[in-house]
Amino acid sequence: MDFRKIEWIFFFVFIGLNIFLFSIFWSNQHEQSLVTNSNQREDIIHRLKNDDIELNEKISDEHREGYYLSAEQDDFQALLSEPSNQTIAQTASVSDKILTDYPSQNREFDLKTTQKSFNQLMQENTFIMDGQQYSYLPDISKKENELAKIVGAQSYEGIPFMDETSRVTLDVEKSDGEVQVLKYTQTRLKEIEPLREKMSLYSEKEILNTLYINNNIPAKSTITNVYLGYFRTLEVREKNVYVPVWFVKIRTADKTTQIEKVNALNNQVITNNLVPKVENP
């Protein structure tokens, strides 16, 4: 046999063998990655189950995006002086940037279609100022038969504000045989703007793991809600700084409720953190 032909045969065999070995290597690496990811995904669930901790919702691996934001809390004085808001100004009062109003006209509310009723009221400019900016928040609203506190808040790119600086709370009660809004309070943010570029956030799974290893989730409890919102972490003169925060609502074995907070940008527990106030930066 020609020696050159033998060289070509060995060359093609060598190439084929390398392709075969590389394909096995890639396949093993891919399978190992899937196993690793599966183990990571099941790890926190497995540990929660070992402590008899139940989950009412599926844990998400999604990495959403959010900002550091700055905003100023409105004092309502300019809004109340506008001619279009004179009806509200007649019955409303403002104290410490919180507007309280007892509407002069009856406003019925259907607790069976809460979101629809809330949205309809937010469109009535004789009932509330800039109501179209507020979205219904089921995670922090409270309903009990014919008595409820229905909560809404402003949002920034789909993520709501979850503290008292941006909130509408409707006090809904049964009066004269009808379920009505007897009172509401309102706070409002203005000049909302990002301080940095959009950033990737830690996932629900990751922050639950942080809470677990820090012993913030009691044994035999139930994680009832996990939701994301902007939360004030710093006050500088009239400006507030907000960061995306994961809220985890937990019902303990003795039927009490606790809410844990985790900074979604750095995965640090901030449940008991106070809001620093800087007067002269």
Kindly report, residue by residue over 200-219, the tens digit of the pLDDT.
999 999 999 999 999 999 99
pLDDT band at 261 (very low <50, low <70, confident <90, very high): very high
> Which CATH fold would you assign to the domain 44-67+195-278?
Lipocalin (2.40.128)
pLDDT band at 177 (very low <50, low <70, confident <90, very high): confident
The pLDDT value given to residue 6? 56
| Domain 74-190 in the same topology as domain 44-67+195-278 | no
Which of the 8 DSSP states describes residue 60? P
Alpha-carbon distance 103 to 120, whole Å?
15
Structure-model confidence comparison of residues 184 and 25, the more confident one: 184
Instruction: Indicate whether 236 pLDDT > 80.
Output: yes
Q: HEC profile for 125-143?
A: CCCCCCHHHCEECCCCCEE
Instruction: Indicate whether 94 pLDDT > 60.
Output: yes
pLDDT band at 145 (very low <50, low <70, confident <90, very high): confident
Share of the chain above pLDDT 90, in %: 71
The pLDDT value given to residue 15? 54
Average of pLDDT values for 5-12? Answer: 54
Average of pLDDT values for 254-268? Answer: 96
The pLDDT value given to residue 31? 40
The pLDDT value given to residue 144? 82
Tokens representing 155 are: 């949002």
The set of residues, in sequence order, having a beta carbon less than 8 Å from that of 202 and lying 6+ positions away, is 63, 210, 246, 262, 264, 265, 266, 267
Flag the least confident range among 153-157, 228-232, 238-242: 238-242
Give the pairing of strands 155-156 and 147-153: unpaired
pLDDT (tens digit per residue) in 64-84: 999 999 999 999 999 999 998
Alpha-carbon distance 277 to 279, whole Å?
6
The pLDDT value given to residue 25? 37
Domain-wise residue ranges, the chain: 44-67+195-278, 74-190
Average of pLDDT values for 133-161? Answer: 94
> Which CATH fold would you assign to the domain 74-190?
TATA-Binding Protein (3.30.310)
Q: Residue written as tokens 């409105």?
A: 74
The pLDDT value given to residue 52? 93
Structure-model confidence comparison of residues 262 and 43, the more confident one: 262
pLDDT band at 252 (very low <50, low <70, confident <90, very high): very high
